[in-house]
Structure formats: C-alpha cells, structure tokens
Amino acid sequence: MNVAIVTARAGSKSIINKNILPLEGKPMVHYPIHAAQAAKRIGEVWVSTDGEGIAQASRDAGAKIIPRPDELGGDSVNHGIVIKHAVEYVDARCENVENIVLLLGNTVYIDGEIIDQALNLLDERKELDSVMTVWEAADDHPYRALQINNEGLIETFGGPRKVSTERQSYPKAYYYDQGVWAFRKQTVQTQDGPNPWWWMGKNVHPIIRPWVTGRDIHGLIDVFFSQEWVKNPEMVKRIKEEDH
C-alpha cells in the first residue's frame, strides 16, 4: 500500500497558523490532503502535526492524525526526524506499507496526477529509492549566489570564483520545489540520501516542473501566488501543457 503523509507543524512565525490559513474558502492543509485523496495510487492519508487546530482541520478533510511528540516541535527540529517518526508511526498501524508520499502542509501546487506519476516511476524502476519534484535554476543558479560580509558589502557566495555572465554555460542545477517526495519506506532508516534530504535514499529520480510550482508559504507574497494559482485553474492547465 502507498500512504501519503502531510507534515504541518504549529507555531509558524512568518505567517501565524499558516497551515490552516483560509485560502479560497479552505484551510491551507486541505489542499495537499485533497491532492493525495485524488491520487489513484494512495491508500490512506495521514497528517503529522503538533497543533490541535491543524489536526481538526485535517480530520474534517478525511485524514488520519499522527500526533507529534513534544520533542519534535519547534523551529529547530530537523524535518527529516519528523518524517522518520511519521513513517514509523504509520508503518506500525497499517499493513503492507510500501511507499510513502510526503507532502508539505502549506502548498497548493500539487494534485493527484503528479503524485501518481511519482509512484508509477517507483513501480516501473525497481532500482530507484525515491522520486522528487524539482525545478531548474536559471537566474537563481548557485553560480550567481551572493553573500553579505561583515562590512555589510556584497561578495561572491562561498569565496572568490570566476563565472561567466552567460547562464547557458553553467552546469544545470535543480532545487526541490516543495511538491512531492515519494520514497520507499525503508529509506528513512538508511539515511543516505542527498543532503539535506537524507531520508530519500541514494537513487533519487527527478520530475522537473516549472519554477512557478516551487513555493510553499513563508510570507505574504507566497500567499498571493498560492491564491492566484487556486483561482486560475485554466492558467494552471496551460502551464502544465506548456511544460509537457
């Protein structure tokens, strides 16, 4: 069986209660829950949380709850430890768990189709440990990263290097897009995935999506983009079609 787990902690500082922030009439956490429920290959949907408001909203959407221990709360806890706890909790309560789909509780840029695509890849390619949705960097390529030094001045991130202004000459770089992590349940124990995603296993297959899909909620600008995504399904359809 394939299980979806949504992680949604309480106590966010940037946007208070962002995981249950109303967005077009629904709490934010309903979006990943409904996406998982729409997937043909998902058997059960669980939500890992330390907030009763999030837990109740998740129950209202038909999800089961993973109560997060006190020691796994707060800003400084490694997300991977939370994921490992959630996988072990579900595995102890469900029969024949094989694959996990991990979703974030404050993103709207996923649907059942992309979840099924990731799970199909795991079925078709037995050598894979996991599948991750990513977007390809352009102007935000690591070669163009900057840092501010102790004098408050900009300098090259990580120290001096010579880089062309022509980004087409750079090696391709990718970022996780806050969408789908799909992995075989045992990879949380091997802990040998690409850092910082150590729970993903060694053999991680990408699904490359447009940059616009790479947002969860950190500030008001993210709320704005998420709301526009939900309000404009025809534009979302066009973006997906152009991507293919």
pTM for the model: 0.94
Residues in the chain: 244
Strands 204-208 and 130-136: parallel
Residues 229-237: what's their mean pLDDT?
Answer: 94
79 and 163 fall within a common domain: no
45 and 156 fall within a common domain: no
**Range list of H helices, the chain:** 30-38, 52-60, 79-91, 112-124, 187-190, 220-231, 233-243
Q: Which residue among 122, 149, 171 closes a domain?
A: 171
**Residue span of the structural domain in which 146 resides:** 138-171
What is the rounded CA–CA span in Å between residue 215 and residue 132?
15
Q: Which residue among 126, 156, 171 closes a domain?
A: 171
61 and 148 fall within a common domain: no
60 and 149 fall within a common domain: no
Preceding omega of 32 cis (within 30 degrees of 0):
no
CATH number of the domain where residue 15 is located? 3.90.550.10
The pLDDT score that the predictor gives to residue 244 is 63
Q: How many domains does the chain have?
A: 2
Asked whether the predicted pLDDT for residue 29 surpasses 70, the reply is: yes
Q: How far is CA 43 from CA 3, 71, 107, 203, in A?
A: 6, 29, 21, 24
> Which tokens hold the place of 148?
């501010």
Encode pLDDT of 181-197 as tens digits: 999 999 999 999 999 99
102 and 202 fall within a common domain: yes
The pLDDT score that the predictor gives to residue 140 is 92
124 and 13 fall within a common domain: yes
Between 151 and 76, the higher pLDDT residue: 151
99 and 156 fall within a common domain: no
151 and 222 fall within a common domain: no
